[in-house]
Structure 1
Amino acid sequence: MIKWASDPRTAHLFYASLFVFTVSIIATVAYMLNGWGFNDAFYMTVITIFSVGYGEVRPVDTVMLRFVTGILIIVGCTGMIYLTGALVQFITFGLLQELLGATRMTKQISDLEDHVIVCGFGRTGNMLAKELTRGKAKFVVIEPDQTRCLEAKAMGYLTVNADAIEENVLRQAGIGRARALASVVSSDPINVFITLSARSLNQSIQIIARGEDPSTEKKLLQAGANAVILPTHIGAEQIASLILFPAIAGVIQSSERRRQMEIDLRTLGLEIEVVAMAEGSLFAGRSVEEIEQRSDNSFFVIAVERSGVRLAERPTPHMRIYPGDGVTVIGRPGKSEALRRFTEPLLAVDDAAMTSN
């Protein structure tokens, strides 16, 4: 099937235009067969079809001319009504579809509970949304820039195209029912305003704010943030860890405490990470002992969280880890191939290995 024919709007507009064009050609030829020149025949056809009413170009004084004109009035005007309707449908359908889509999305957002609100869909917000999706968390993105908002929609995320500093926008995103809010816009003052607004609307919500300038950390904490993320020290994956696995992330929730911990571990040639076990991972359903052995002891599991509950700070070797579990590991710097198997399905890991070969 021709591609445009799959869209009813385009198909109707095409067939209506083709119908009017065909009627115009036939009528013009019919007038010419009755002794009219092309210019007079074409002009008579146009003013008749479009119902202009300028009068007859030449006398319609024969039975055949009257028959042609009568048929042209009936068929031509019908074609124009069809064409006008198709044109209106073509113009308004997109607007209507957008309106209905926005209404449907608003309904989906209003049904959310215990979800996450992501304020800002820049580089960090984009990465954070992917991490939250991987962790199977419900979330909504608030982004004032229309281009970025459309990008988020194209990726299947629930979005609100507005400024998060407005309290009514936060209410629209379900601030009263949300469990966490991440303010990750690139402006420190805006992050402070968002934090203040969010805290005033929900006293119990977990707020994680991004700060570009280290001096902003204190202001964000005073504004009501539970944790402040400085991009030079912590990334989107760690923000997602704080949201998805608060029980084990609580060990390193303070950014100052985390930095000190990272410094201490780095002196030993180690680093700490919180990762989510992916669906279809090679390690899914295996015991801690098996996972550590298969990783050639490149990292060690020190804590496990499931469904927001911290299961074990020092898990036993026989404890099994399942998709969606949050796992705190300590290992050598850099995401090794073994650690990557936590966060990627087996097929993705195999494809990456084939590509590298």
Structure 2
Amino acid sequence: MHLTHTLDFVLLLLGASVAGVMLFNRLRLPGELAYLAIGALIGRAGFGLIPDEASARALAEFGVVFLMFTIGLEFSLPHLLSMKRLVFGLGAAQVGATTLLSLALGGLLGVPLGAALVLGGALAMSSTALLSKLLIDRLELDAPHGRMVMGVLLFQDLAVVPLLVLIPALSQPPDAQLRLLMLAGLKATVLLATVLYFGQRLLGRWFLIVARRRSSQLFMLNVLLVTLGLAWLTDHFGLSLALGAFVAGMLISETEYRYRVEEDIKPFRDVLLGLFLVTVGTFLDGRVIIDHVLLVLGLLVVMLLAKFAVVLAAARVFGATPGNAVRTGLWLCAGGEFGFVLLSQMSANGLGSAVLIQSAVAAVVLSLLVAPFLVQWSNRLVMRFVASEWMLRSMELTRVAAQSLSTERHVIICGYGRTGQLLARFVEQEGVAYVALDLDPDRVREAASAGETVVYGDAARRETLIAAGVARAAAVVVSYADVGSACRVMDLVRELRPDIPVVVRAIEEAQLEKLTREGAAEVVTDIFETSITLASHTMALTGVPLSRVIRRVRDIRSQRYALLRGYFHGRSDAADDPEATLERLHSVALTDGARCIGRSIADLALPDAGAKVSAVRRRGIRALNPEPELVFESGDVVVLLGTPEALASAETRLLQGG
């Protein structure tokens, strides 16, 4: 009977979660809020559909375990050391100052010391899942404020571990707290030192033994065994389950199996984290929140303002510009999922009153609703209230303009990662100038110091493209595979310079239609080019003549890319070449006596002759794939595409009529 009740509970959560997440996705709201809202609806304060709260708490505990395991899995000592100033400087300052403010405010309001400490830690947290996704979507991960946000989030994730160790001791009577805290610290130190020392030596060998069996099922079972085994071990020693899971993730992160484990565990983590947030929502009591709505709103306002002020001040101390300090504060002032973890542990250990915990959970939920809007408005708020930002933006545009001022018929490369750098070297070797725009300050500094024409700037901004000389450029290339940003760039280019071709990089063929519809002259997809390269190497290694391989690859590319269709034929091309009858390109110069002058492409009906106008060069400017309504003028150079017979017929129509 108990098993039936538990299954009823799990099915209820899964069904409600599917419906809720679909609805919130349609409303463009974070999925975390969907889980919380579902929990509130089916909980004891809603429809009262939870049959067994003990099952709910047990499921929530498993969600925390796998969440902490993935945090440990992402724990990288070299990565921490490379960002130590931001992580242990700015991050520690933010969490420490926010917690101290909570202690001071709690003392004024009569909140017990232990409850105020954990509450401060809970409110200091921000949403790693939400903010990291927004940084990636907005291409701001490598921006100065993006690096600061990630540094603080990393320290917050680490700060949860000692807080989870402290909570059970803080829930004890005051006279026993010091002894229990010292005992917990000693046990944690001894246990962690032993596990880390022996675990690093044993775990790699053990995973090698398991991996040699070449069984994905066995490998997954082993990951679960290690994770839950270490969680059980720390719990057995009077510490938290989450601490053991974090240590398991840390140990596995030092092995070569880290990325495989990360992929295998991801479904468990996402599902259990969602169910954990549902169970947090079930603990919400709407009547308590309504009765204490002023406390909820007060906590929300104090949290947003206090965290914003703390991050702003700390970022300025660590050398951020006023604009980036304000941006970082706006990004980090809301709450996060680890706040729910700590608040649920407070509730489970009886640390703090129910009213205080309920109000804090409600305040964090409301802050998550506000967070996407604060991020969206951050740049506008900075430009509105930070006077120095206008000067910095002007200096940035001046640097971009200085690089492009002496160039003409150049290529604007949006993004200077590996792809952008290889492209720059190709065009430079052909004597074509380029201006590259990138948002990674370290990369820009390194490349610029080496003499490369790269500047810090956002290609998805109108003023940046103007400063980069889009009015004088020959082409624009989006070298990063982000459809949303590429569409913004093309929209601006179409507005500023509608005749310039834009070449865009994409990952999937499914993105081709959208990018082409938005105005891309060509879309180069990673999967298509990788497939061609693999096929060409395979054919060559299996004995297919190299000339045939090259011809086949060229044919495939010509079918896929309009700009690569055909080639210009010369005397050196053999008359008996098998390709002699294939489509080729041919240029026809229109003099004053040409019969087509004053007539449009459509009037001549060149496709009836089997040819197509591939491009028209007029006064040094080349229009690719011109519209049928284009009218020929004297001095035009018309580039035709077709077979030799079709080209001869089309040239006759252009020059003599017919």
TM band (smaller chain): 0.3 to 0.5
Task: Name the TM-score, length of structure 1 as normaliser.
Answer: 0.39
Greater relative contact order: 1 or 2 (C-alpha under 8 angstroms, separation 6 or more)?
Answer: 2
The TM-score, its normalising length taken from structure 2, stands at: 0.22
Query: Which structure shows the bigger proportion of residues in helix conformation?
Result: 2
